[in-house]
């Protein structure tokens, strides 16, 4: 492992967990955005709220990836520090 490597490994399990969390976040954002859609038809409201929730869910996914890499790097640094002592 090189010095620049954070120690984070992408696995099928972590990818599935990320997808599930992102879909849940998208659904919650969709529910949150529904009262702000200017329509009375439920299908139209859900479509536009869901469409508007896509960038928010994408941002959630990016933040989740950054958090995981940062946490893995922090844990790696702690392990290296413990090995030095």
- 7 domain residue, yes or no: no
- 4 domain residue, yes or no: no
Q: What is the pLDDT of residue 4?
A: 63
- 77 domain residue, yes or no: yes
- 68 domain residue, yes or no: yes
pLDDT tens, N- to C-terminus, the chain (85 residues): 556 666 678 899 999 999 999 999 999 999 999 999 999 999 999 999 999 999 999 999 999 999 999 999 999 999 989 988 7
Q: What is the tally of structural domains in the chain?
A: 1
- 74 domain residue, yes or no: yes
- 50 domain residue, yes or no: yes
Residues spanned by the domain of 24: 12-84
Q: Which residue has the tokens 């919650």?
A: 28
- 29 domain residue, yes or no: yes
- 28 domain residue, yes or no: yes
Q: Give the predicted TM-score (pTM) of the model.
A: 0.83
Among 51, 62, 44, residue whose Cα is nearest residue 26: 51
Q: Are 37 and 45 in contact (CB under 8 A)?
A: yes
């Amino acid at each position: 492992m090189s010095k620049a490597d954070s120690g984070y490994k992408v696995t099928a399990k972590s990818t599935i967990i990320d997808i599930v969390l992102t879909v849940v976040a998208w659904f919650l954002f969709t529910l949150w955005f529904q009262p702000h859609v200017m329509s009375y038809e439920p299908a139209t409201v859900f479509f536009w709220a869901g469409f508007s929730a896509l960038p928010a869910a994408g941002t959630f996914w990016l933040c989740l990836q950054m958090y995981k890499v940062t946490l893995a790097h922090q844990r790696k640094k702690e392990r290296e520090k413990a090995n030095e002592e």
